[in-house]
Structure 1
Amino acid sequence: MTENTKNFSGSKLLTAIVLSILTYWLFAQSFLNIGPKIQSTFSTSPDIVNISISLTSFVTGVFMVVAGNFSDKLGKVKMTRIALILSIIGSLMLIISGNVVLLLMGRVVQGLSAAIIMPATISIVNEFFEGDERQKALSYWSIGAFGGTGLSSFFAGAMATFISWQSIFVLSIILSLLALFLLNNLPESKLVKSASNQFDYIGLTIFVIMIASISFVITQGYKIGWLSSPTLILSVLFFICIFVFYKFEKSKRTPFIDLELFKNRPYIGAVLANFLLNTGVGVIALFNMYAQGGLKLSAFQAGMLTLPYLITLLLVVRLGEKSIKRFGAKRAMVIGPIFTALGILLFSFTFFDKPLYIIVALIGAVCFGGGTGLFATPALSTAVSTTPAEKVGVASGIFKMGSTLGGAFGIAIMTSIFTGIIQSGRSVETAGSIGFIVGTCLVICGVLASALIIPTRKIKTRLKTN
């Protein structure tokens, strides 16, 4: 660890960070699998439940870059503590009453907590670890995020079935308190700057409107129609905001986001490849739809078929970390998505008989998880290590926002293609196959982003000097 934290245990810090990010990836995301339980408890409509499910991810995606900017200015450790307190408050709002307003407010608070935690904890890793230890710490960060996501559906179902859905958030509160205890006495980064009196509130407002508009289009467009008036109006608003934001930020001495970040080819390549690889979240959603609708499997059986994805991913994450030192980050960022695309392509062989397809799907899940695991740490390390230390918060916020929007985009595109083809009179098998092929193409675009945008030698040099 760095001189700034030489008296603070590295394992203690990593435990606190992993517990912190689990408040979103494992606990807040569990809402995806307990919708009927929520509806029964709150005696509300399915529409309200659906809003509560998607609300946290929406708020997280919209405010993550804003939170990253604040963590750079106010302090990464301070912001992480604030986020954990917000997570506790949000969890309490969900479980202390059956009030629908508190339910929705609690999900918003959970979203704000997650938006702060992700860039702040990545910044803490970058600041408080050096060299090989930094790569190792980033691997554990990735394991916490991907592991939490992979376990959230199974974990939520088990807790809701055998105890109660409220117990999920009681446990989240307990682990948040433990994370706060572990972070006690952790010194703040020496790189923290005092908040400027000239903070760019106009830039912040334009940016929030810009991200909120495109987030709504991505997450709701397939429901209300890609050519509906709200979708088209918000799409136009998004492009107008891009133009206004660019012009306004160029004229500011202290802009909300330093546009110099986007001249950094390794960083841009990592963000774009990360966005495209995370469209694979849509593949998992599509596979569950096809397995239950086409193969007539139960939700539990479909979930079991995706377990090799999670297991392989967690096993390979550390391999991706070790490959950075030997080969540089770019190679893993190209090879990883190739395996991911191969795995998704195997899912598209829906013309096979059911027993054979299940075998092929299990092999596909192994390739899918292995490729994603190989990509995870090198991509995160590239985004962090090629960015000036005082901008890591906002840079990692943009990087993780790419993950959130990429996942939402993948789900929207693949599920809308699947349902659209079925509604046109085609078979479930045809719809599933085409949806998976589209997913394969999106991930291959991620391969191209890594291969064409990221310069090999430059990445190797910066990682060694960091």
Structure 2
Amino acid sequence: MTVKTNKVSGSKLLTGIVLSILTYWLFAQSFLNIGPKIQTTFDASPDIVNISVSLTSFVTGVFMVVAGNISDKFGKVRMTRIALVLSIIGSLMLIVSGNVVLLLLGRIVQGFSAAIIMPATISIVNDFFEGDDRQKALSFWSIGAFGGTGLSSFFAGAMATFIFWQSIFILSIILSIVALFLLNKLPESRINKAESNPFDYIGLAIFIIMIGSISFVITQGYKIGWLNAITVILFVVFVICIYIFFKVERVKKAPFIDLDLFKNRPYIGAVIANFLLNTGVGVIALFNMYVQGGLKLTAFQAGLLTLPYLISLLLIIRLGEKSIKRFGAKRAMVIGPIFTGLGVLLFSLTFFDTPVYVVIALIGAVFFGGGTGLFATPALSTAVSTTPPEKVGVASGIFKMGSTLGGAFGIAIMTSIFTGIIESGQSVHSAAGIGFIVGTCLVLCGVLTSAIVIPTRKIN
């Protein structure tokens, strides 16, 4: 690959970027599968463990757009290096002590690290690569993100079972140091200070309250109750903040988020479709709950059933990249979620006997992963290439925040449906089947978004 600097080779830069994003998608996300080990090590209550599992994603979702905005103004390479240092610090907090306070602080620090890394590294790709090389680079970015997610559960289970869970974060520290070394000579790319405007701290404060309130509703509402007073109050706060944010930001010369971004049809279509497709994370969570609780498979066996998802995703993701040049991004963004929805629909056939269902689930996982892989690079490319260079950081922050909140929304909706139906007296098989059908509908809404909102044209 060619890259717009003679100080760092394209492959070296991409390796550093992929290792950077793995600190979240592979390592920080591994907490989803090692909760019991964490509880034993820290002698913590289940509530503390649950908080530690979700805390990193919550902090990441809330601060990602903020971090993207800051990266645009103060330097994307600089912010990536800071994020890698934070990842190292967060990992050390998890492994050097059995103190619960350090556990929670470490997860918060990991969340800040991920919030900075994602929009900053996407901006670096956009700045240093051009044309076909940019599409290829974005494919490798997606491989790191989606591939890390697909492997994290299996990887964490294997490391915790055959070595010890702390080894996950020792490896994360090592790879973070390697990433820092690979990005060491990368020159800074940012807007000139003469072109910069005063930072909008009012917009920042309103935005954090707005995203924090809706993130809490999405991630915790199904646990404390959708009609609980706290849930309702925070939803009202979210709505009020939306009104105030748009009212205040419209009249500012240099707003925290340029509202013109939301007039860009390709961009807003990619963001919404990405949000809806990422509700598929809820499908994976529901699938693990069902095959372990309903079919009595072990966690390791459940992880094996999801491996075809990872394999097909990694095989197809480059196909999505190549389709952009020939057909434009829209076609893959429509066809990809159709295959994803078909895979989720196959998961819903829970009325079959276990041996037959396992075969169907393996086929469903192939469709699920392949469709997601076909969608990934065209969606990310659309979001990046249709945005002015000086706004790519905040734009990619919003795009990836859609991924995080979409996943949280999918988990909340499908878990609530699954639990509610079981509590009403129906079987675990019926509950899972209905949950998967709801997941199919959410993914197909992503198909409609791509088909209706995104214009038919090639994205460079």
| Inter-CA distance 428–115: structure 2 relative to 1 (3 Å threshold) | same
AA partner of residue 302 (structure 1): A
Moved more, 434-443 or 94-103: 94-103
Q: Provide the secondary structure at the position in 2 that maps to 1:352.
A: coil
CA distance in 2, matches of 1:74, 1:194: 12
Q: Say if 1:4 and 1:187, in contact at 8 Å, map to a contact too.
A: no
AA partner of residue 405 (structure 2): L
Q: CA deviation at 1:302?
A: 1.3
TM superposition score normalised by structure 1: 0.97
**1:16-43 CA deviation, whole Å, 9 max, x = no partner?**
0000000000111111111111111111
Q: CA deviation at 1:194?
A: 6.2
CA distance in 2, matches of 1:41, 1:220: 25
CA distance in 2, matches of 1:70, 1:245: 18
The yes-or-no answer on 1:58 pairing with 2:58 is yes
CA distance in 1, matches of 2:50, 2:172: 22
Q: Say if 2:4 and 2:129, in contact at 8 Å, map to a contact too.
A: no
Give the root-mean-square deviation of aligned CA atoms.
1.2
1:434-449 counterparts in 2 under 5 A?
A: 434-449=434-449
Q: Provide the secondary structure at the position in 2 that maps to 1:12.
A: helix
Q: CA deviation at 1:198?
A: 2.2
CA distance in 2, matches of 1:190, 1:422: 53
AA partner of residue 82 (structure 1): I
**1:323-353 CA deviation, whole Å, 9 max, x = no partner?**
0000000000000000000110111111112
CA distance in 1, matches of 2:142, 2:270: 15
* Aligned residue in 1 for 2:185: 185
Q: Say if 1:2 and 1:127, in contact at 8 Å, map to a contact too.
A: no
* Aligned residue in 2 for 1:346: 346
CA distance in 2, matches of 1:66, 1:24: 17
CA distance in 1, matches of 2:260, 2:194: 21
Moved more, 82-91 or 195-204: 195-204
* Aligned residue in 1 for 2:201: 201
Q: Provide the secondary structure at the position in 1 that maps to 2:252.
A: coil
1:156-235 counterparts in 2 under 5 A?
A: 156-189=156-189, 191-193=191-193, 196=196, 198-235=198-235
AA partner of residue 379 (structure 1): A
Q: Say if 1:93 and 1:106, in contact at 8 Å, map to a contact too.
A: yes
* Aligned residue in 2 for 1:97: 97
CA distance in 2, matches of 1:194, 1:173: 37
AA partner of residue 430 (structure 2): T
* Aligned residue in 1 for 2:335: 335
AA partner of residue 293 (structure 1): G
Moved more, 212-221 or 296-305: 296-305
| Inter-CA distance 354–247: structure 2 relative to 1 (3 Å threshold) | same
1:323-402 counterparts in 2 under 5 A?
A: 323-402=323-402
Q: Say if 1:75 and 1:192, in contact at 8 Å, map to a contact too.
A: no
* Aligned residue in 2 for 1:414: 414
| Inter-CA distance 112–207: structure 2 relative to 1 (3 Å threshold) | same
CA distance in 2, matches of 1:230, 1:251: 32
TM superposition score normalised by structure 2: 0.98
Q: Say if 2:312 and 2:370, in contact at 8 Å, map to a contact too.
A: yes
Q: Provide the secondary structure at the position in 1 that maps to 2:296.
A: coil
Q: CA deviation at 1:163?
A: 1.7
AA partner of residue 357 (structure 2): Y
Q: CA deviation at 1:4?
A: 4.3
* Aligned residue in 2 for 1:266: 266
Q: CA deviation at 1:356?
A: 1.5
Q: Say if 1:83 and 1:117, in contact at 8 Å, map to a contact too.
A: yes
AA partner of residue 171 (structure 2): L
| Inter-CA distance 3–299: structure 2 relative to 1 (3 Å threshold) | closer
Q: Say if 2:94 and 2:103, in contact at 8 Å, map to a contact too.
A: yes
CA distance in 2, matches of 1:197, 1:69: 12
Q: Say if 1:4 and 1:189, in contact at 8 Å, map to a contact too.
A: no
CA distance in 2, matches of 1:192, 1:307: 46
Gap runs ≥5 in structure 1 = none
Q: CA deviation at 1:191?
A: 3.5
Q: Say if 2:18 and 2:144, in contact at 8 Å, map to a contact too.
A: yes
* Aligned residue in 2 for 1:454: 454
1:22-33 counterparts in 2 under 5 A?
A: 22-33=22-33
* Aligned residue in 1 for 2:39: 39
| Inter-CA distance 341–202: structure 2 relative to 1 (3 Å threshold) | same
| Inter-CA distance 403–3: structure 2 relative to 1 (3 Å threshold) | closer
**1:169-188 CA deviation, whole Å, 9 max, x = no partner?**
11111110110000111111
AA partner of residue 446 (structure 2): G
* Aligned residue in 2 for 1:432: 432
The yes-or-no answer on 1:49 pairing with 2:49 is yes
CA distance in 2, matches of 1:335, 1:106: 40
CA distance in 2, matches of 1:164, 1:190: 41
Q: Say if 1:74 and 1:194, in contact at 8 Å, map to a contact too.
A: no
| Inter-CA distance 3–13: structure 2 relative to 1 (3 Å threshold) | closer
Gap runs ≥5 in structure 2 = none
AA partner of residue 358 (structure 1): V
Identity of aligned residues (%): 83
Moved more, 149-158 or 81-90: 149-158
AA partner of residue 47 (structure 1): D
Q: Provide the secondary structure at the position in 1 that maps to 2:255.
A: coil
AA partner of residue 166 (structure 1): Q
**1:30-85 CA deviation, whole Å, 9 max, x = no partner?**
11111111111111111111111100000000000000000000011000000000
CA distance in 1, matches of 2:28, 2:358: 31
Q: CA deviation at 1:253?
A: 0.5
Structure 1 consecutive aligned stretches of length 4 or more whose deviation exceeds 6 Å:
none
